[in-house]
Chains A and B, each alone.
Chain A
Amino acid sequence: MDPYALKTLNAERRARRAAILVTDLGDGRDRIVREGDQVAGDLGAAIARAFRSGSSGSVEAEGRTFFLNAHLPQPRLVVIGAVHISQALAPMAKIAGYPLEIIDPRTAFATPDRFPDVALHAEWPEDVLKRLPLDSYTALAAVTHDPKIDDFALRAALDANCFYVGALGSRKTHAKRVERLLALGASADQIARIHAPIGLDIGAASPAEIAVAVLAQVVHAFRSRGVDAKGVAA
């Protein structure tokens, strides 16, 4: 392995950015491909698949055998709001492989008693996100209904290019939110990325069912990164 490739790979991994080490198993030469780098042909298609799935493996291309070792950051879910939905979402997300953190400055809601075994921050999102910044391998679900708490986090999630941004509230609530986010300086394209009303449409009624709908939407967003609605790689 090329020492420079190893250094580059570790730097990407430390920064929570996806990278693939491509090794030619014939001559041992290797290089790092970052997400978004253009690679032509069959090898490029295989690399794009590996970025989406996170699976490593060998691929035949251009008459050679390449090994693709995919290093994807651990995806995670940040929930704004220590509410009833979050109580159901916390254990579900953990089981699904999406470690979850909850942020809610309302200390009556954000109690270890209501959220055992969960990373809980009884602070304003403004303060927590300074310490623990969002990134493109983070999903953010804002479920407090309170603009004072949700809006800053939503704007931060859009700016950080979170792979999923969802916000609880009716269409009417969301229309008002769009106005506020525009006033905060978010662009219309950014705002269009927000999933609202939140969750896949499965007719969820109870808080736990809404949690299922949200988690399913997060998984879908994660597994379809870089693919447009027709299933074509962007």
Chain B
Amino acid sequence: MSDNIYLDEARDPLIIAEGWMKDGKDVAIATVVETWGSAPRPVGSHLVIDADGNFHGSVSGGCVEGAVVTEAIDVIDTGKAKMLEFGVADETAWQVGLSCGGRIKVYVERLG
């Protein structure tokens, strides 16, 4: 838990997403919905993404954010939510794996 009892609005993903929405941007919200083993970010953590690929927040320690952003832009285009799963990094998928050995499930949906 943080020491700050009020929201850190400048860095809070959901506050940023609302701001983007007010600016007329298309936004996707990614949420960690399940974790197994060692996972860097707890269930409920958010990454928010706009149609240009700008993002705030995190769903891992930076291991899979790139892949989530790519998928999120697709979700913004189609409007169809996706459930993504990331496991241990291996040779074929080392760019989008979790080197910590955990597994996470990330739900990506469009805002609106």
Measured CB to CB, the residues of A under 8 A from B are 1-3, 6-7, 9-10, 13-14, 16, 23, 25, 28, 55-58, 67, 69-70, 73-74, 76, 94, 97, 99
Bound complex: CA A89 to CA B21 (Å): 43
Q: Is B93 an interface residue when CB atoms closer than 8 A count as contact?
A: no
Is A99's CB under 8 angstroms from B3's CB? yes
Distance A94 CA – B1 CA, assembled complex (angstroms): 10
Among residues of A, the one whose C-beta sits closest to the C-beta of B29 is: A1
A10 to B6, CA, bound (A): 12
Known: A25-B33, A56-B43. A6 touches B21 (CB 8 A): yes
Do the beta carbons of B1 and A55 come within 8 Å of each other? Answer: no
Nearest chain B residue, comparing its CB with the CB of A11: B18
* Chain B residues, CB < 8 A from A56: 42-44
Contact, CB under 8 Å: B21 / A74: no
List chain B residues, Cβ under 8 A from A69: 31, 44
For B110, the chain A residues whose CB sits under 8 A away are 1
CB distance from A120 to the nearest CB of B (A): 14
The dominant DSSP class at the A interface is mixed
Is residue B71 within 8 Å, beta carbon to beta carbon, of the partner chain?
Answer: no
Interface size for chain B: under 10, 10 to 19, 20 to 34, or 35 or more residues? 20 to 34
Interface check B14, CB cutoff 8 A:
yes
Q: Contact: B5 with A13, CB < 8 Å?
A: no
A58 to B31, CA, bound (A): 12
Among residues of B, the one whose C-beta sits closest to the C-beta of A7 is B18
Q: How far is the CB of B38 from chain A (nearest CB, A)?
A: 17
Q: Are A67 and B15 in contact (CB under 8 A)?
A: no
User: Which chain B residues border A3 with CB–CB below 8 Å?
Assistant: 21, 111-112
Chain A residues, Cβ within 8 Å of B18:
6-7, 10
The B1-59 residues at the A interface (CB cut-off 8 A) are 1-7, 14-15, 17-18, 21, 29, 31, 33-34, 42-44
Judge whether A25 and B43 touch: CB under 8 Å. no
Q: What is the CB-to-nearest-CB distance from B46 to chain A, in angstroms, rounded to a whole number? A: 9
Q: List 14 A-B contacts (CB under 8 A).
A: A1-B29, A1-B110, A1-B111, A3-B21, A3-B112, A6-B14, A16-B6, A23-B109, A25-B107, A28-B109, A67-B33, A74-B5, A76-B5, A99-B3
In the complex, A53 Cα to B95 Cα: how many Å?
35
From residue B6, how far is it (CB to closest CB) to chain A in Å? 7
Bound: A130/B81 CA distance, A:
45
Asked whether any CB of chain A lies closer than 8 Å to the CB of B67, the reply is: no
Please give the distance in Å from B12's CB to the nearest CB on chain A: 8
Provide the bound-state CA to CA distance between A73 and B7, in Å.
9
